[in-house]
Chains A and B, each alone.
Chain A
C-alpha cells in the first residue's frame, strides 16, 4: 500500500474554512517559457495567450473519463500526488509532455510535443492554472487544437478510489473543427483513456475506463475564427518543412565566420 501524503483538507478542523488562494495560478497576459527541456520543440507557447472554452471556435463538449481503481487501498490524495509526480509517463507513446521545472504546480508551464497525422510533431503547451491535493487543472496555449480546461482528479467513496479526467473543450479554430469529429475527438479519447489505464497499472489497480461525452453548446463561434492564425499544427508543419532552410542558413553563417 502506498503511504498517504499530507492532505491539505484531511487535517482541517470540522467546519473550518477552506482556502484556495495557494491553489490558483496568478493571471498571465501571455505565457513565458524561458528555457525548454533538451530535445523539446519549443514552439507556439512563449508569448501565447491562454485559450479556454470561452475563447474557442467549435461546439463545446464536456468529456469525462473515469476509472475505478479496483484492488488497491490508495487514497484519492495519494493517487493525485503520484499522478502529479509521474505525469508524463502516463501519456501514450508518440505524445510527450515536458514537466515544468517546479512540477505540476500553479503557474507552471508544460510543453507538449505530439506526433500527429503525416508525421508532424505538433508543439504546444499548457499552463497549470490550479493544483491542490485532490486535483489539478490545465488550460491550453492559443494555437492548441482544443481550447480547453482539463481537470485531473481522484475521489474516495464507499466503493474505494476513482481517478478522473474531465475536459471542457471546443475545437480552437475552423481547421481543428473540421478535423474534430473524425480525428480530434477520438484523439482526446485515446490520450485520456490511455492515461487512466497507465495510472491504474502504475498503482497496481485494475479497472475499465468509462467515457461520457456531452455536447453543451453546438454553436460555432465565428468571432473566434481568427484563432486559425495561431494554429499550432500548421505552424509546426511549416517549422518542420523549413528545417533544411534553417540548416543551410546556419551552415552558411558558420562558413562565413571561418573565412
Chain B
C-alpha cells in the first residue's frame, strides 16, 4: 500500500504573509503536520497564509475536511487563507465543495503574493 504522507515546508515572506508548501498527500492523517505547519506560518501580525499545492499528489475527502478546519482556525485569528498551484482536478474539487468561496485561488505564487499586498 502506498504511504505518501504530507510533507510541509513553511516560508515567511514578510510579517503579513507566509507560504505553506505542501507535498504528497492530504488526508485526515495529515492533520498534525498541517496544523504544525500552520502554527509555524502564523505570527502575531500574519494576515494571509498561502497554501502552495504545486506538489500535491493526492487528496481525499478527509483532506478537504482538514482544509475546512484549517480555514476556520485561520479565520478565528483574523487571517485569510489563499492557495495557488492547484491543477484543474483540484480546482474542480474546491469548486465542488465550495471551498473556493472562502479560500482565494491564485494561478501562481507571484499572483498570490500580489493579491496579498492588494488587501
Contact = CB atoms under 8 A, between A and B. Distances in A.
A2 interface: no
Contacts of A51: 98
Interface string B67-86: 01101110110000000000
B4 A17 contact: yes
B61 A149 contact: yes
B110 interface: no
Given A19-B58, A60-B72, A132-B60, A149 B2 contact: no
Interface residues of A, number: 41
A18 B95 contact: no
B119 interface: no
B62 A151 contact: yes
B69 A28 contact: no
A70 interface: no
A135 B102 contact: no
Contacts of A185: none
B102 to A, nearest CB: 5
B96 A25 contact: yes
A175 to B, nearest CB: 21
Contacts of A153: 62
B25 to A, nearest CB: 7
A90 interface: no
Contacts of A130: 60-61, 64
Contact of B96 (A14, A27, A53, A216): A27
Interface string A1-22: 0000000011011111111110
B65 A18 contact: no
Contacts of A14: 1-2
Size bin of chain B's contact surface = 20 to 34
B57 A151 contact: no
B58 A149 contact: no
Contacts of A53: 68
A139 B97 contact: yes
A53 B103 CA distance: 13
Contacts of B69: 62, 168, 216
Contact of B92 (A27, A54, A60): A27
Given A12-B2, A14-B2, A217-B76, A149 B60 contact: no
Nearest to A53: B68
Interface of A: 9-10, 12-21, 23-28, 49-55, 60, 62, 129-130, 132, 135-137, 139, 149, 151, 153, 166, 168, 216-217
Interface of B: 1-2, 4, 25, 57-62, 64-65, 68-69, 71-73, 75-76, 89, 92-93, 95-99, 101-102
